[in-house]
Amino acid sequence: MSANFYMLAKALLGKATCQSANTTRFFLSARIRNARGSNRFIKIGAHTLVKGELLTFRHGGEILIGDYCYIGEGTRIWSSKCITIGDRTLISHNVNIFDNLTHPISPRERHEQFMSIALGQFPSVSNLGESPVYIENDVLIGSQAIILKGVRIGAGAIVGAGSVVTSDVPPWSIVGGNPARLIRELTKEERL
DSSP result, 70-105 = EE-TT-EEEESS-EEE-TT-EE-TT-EEESS-SS-S
Residue 9 has pLDDT above 80, yes or no: no
- Cα distances from 116 to residues 34, 76, 103, 108, in angstroms, run 17, 22, 12, 12
Domain ranges within the chain, ordered by starting residue: 3-138
- Say if residue 12's pLDDT is above 70: no
Question: Any idea which of 57-61, 77-81, 118-122 has the lowest mean pLDDT?
Answer: 118-122
Does residue 13 register a pLDDT over 70?
no
Average pLDDT (96-102) is 95
Residues 136-156: pLDDT tens digits? 999 999 999 999 999 999 999
Question: What's the chain's average pLDDT?
Answer: 90
Average pLDDT over residues 10-21: 66
Architecture of the domain spanning 3-138: 3 Solenoid (2.160)
Starting at the earlier edge strand, list the strands of the sheet with 19-20. Answer: 19-20, 42-44, 63-65, 83-85, 133-135, 152-153
State pLDDT tens for residues 39-71.
999 999 999 999 999 999 888 899 999 999 999
| Residue 103 bears catalytic tag | yes
Selecting among 47, 59, 93, 103, the annotated active-site residue is 103
pTM: 0.89
Give Dmax over CA atoms of the chain in angstroms: 59
Which pLDDT value is given to residue 120?
79
